[in-house]
Structure 1
């Protein structure tokens, strides 16, 4: 659907409009007095969120991100679904599933009672998706943009067979300096260290960064905090519907080897992901639905 049609059907005067984004993909542009945000209909992902009283964006978006069919956009919150990480069945399918690199459908927009703006995008099964993953489903994501940012990813099983999923809101947070960042709330939590061959470890104290980090924390608390001394802020992350949290930073070599990152981008990004990953597999019965939610706020 063209942006003109989308504006006619879903635009909200003085608050939400659809624009042509990079690569020709439609974007949702929000400015409602409480915050500004940019959401890509391609990939169904939010690219930017900045509260009105904040000098910096909450989210990191690579200046070298790809905006082309079949490629995921590096930054914001890519959606990993219906699996997180490598193909769980070893069939050669792409890592992190198939919804982060396809065009979603606009399902609705509205203004909430407190003046925030909500946008819902969706994906349903097609013959193409059935060849990749033979299930019948409706997937939707709702972004609520106000003084805080809320995301709900909802999976509905519209078929007659139970299916299993893993998933993640692969959120890239903008940080001032990776050497001066801590993640709080994980002390004593067990994790899988993917950099160290999947070894099972236990977090001692706060999470700090001096090398590549790729960890899946099992049974983390519902609230985590990114303490960013360089930007003089804390990012509060509250999750629902998940029993795992992923903490990732590519560090020097990986950042330099990725075509859609600048060599030094590892210094400016940190992923803390609300996820169902590793052994946190979700079974969805026919006719049933489940949601994973994340709520982000900034404090000084």
Structure 2
């Protein structure tokens, strides 16, 4: 788990939605399928994830009980905390729902990311990938700063006499200057008591980290999923425009495509000073190049078939013999 975290941190310049899911796996909010061949490690990860989710659920319930038992006495605080509670429930619930379909979701991500990587010379795809690499770090940093200010900074800020009196009255606190950023309900316990406050404060920070990760996942999952679809349709659009035309690679050499989705191709024979030249290539590629050049109509049919296959979910890798 430590090695996975180090790998994620060292590759932050290549941040993607899949890498973010790996980070959530390390932090115990998701349990990635097939991440380990050792059944013991899988069971440990599942137990770790269940414990983290249970802990966050208890914090949410405690915050909710306090909201409707105490915060309701103050309209402005109630509205503010109700808004926060709604966001937390929605984002944490989204993370739990994603776990249910996580294997299928990761398979879909693998398909789209692989296709985009194989077509990385496409300028439009390159621009879209740059957007993705920036989106998650910006969302994570922004959300973390907002949560940090409310959970960590707020308890240490000086408060006016009126604010202290309001906190004491609403939450029945003996030491209102020790009010938590997100007030929790613990039966028969005053969370402002110095003997309890620091423990409660530490637990709330840990819970806030978990909620921050869930918040960011909810923020990025839809736009990045749409972005991956845009990768794919951009590639399909460019391949469609090549129908009936001579195909060239990024170096300007004429080519024949053998697999569109995997961007596999063979270089076409070309003439120079009246002589036919062939670049170095394997015998199989040479055979394909010769076959396609002798049968341009069949190549066109093959290209159209590959194009129609590429529109489906799982690409075909068949090539003519």
Normalising by structure 2, report the TM-score: 0.20
Larger radius of gyration: 2
- The structure with the greater share of residues assigned to strand is 1
| Structure with more of its chain in helix, by fraction | 2
TM-score, normalised to structure 1's length? Answer: 0.21
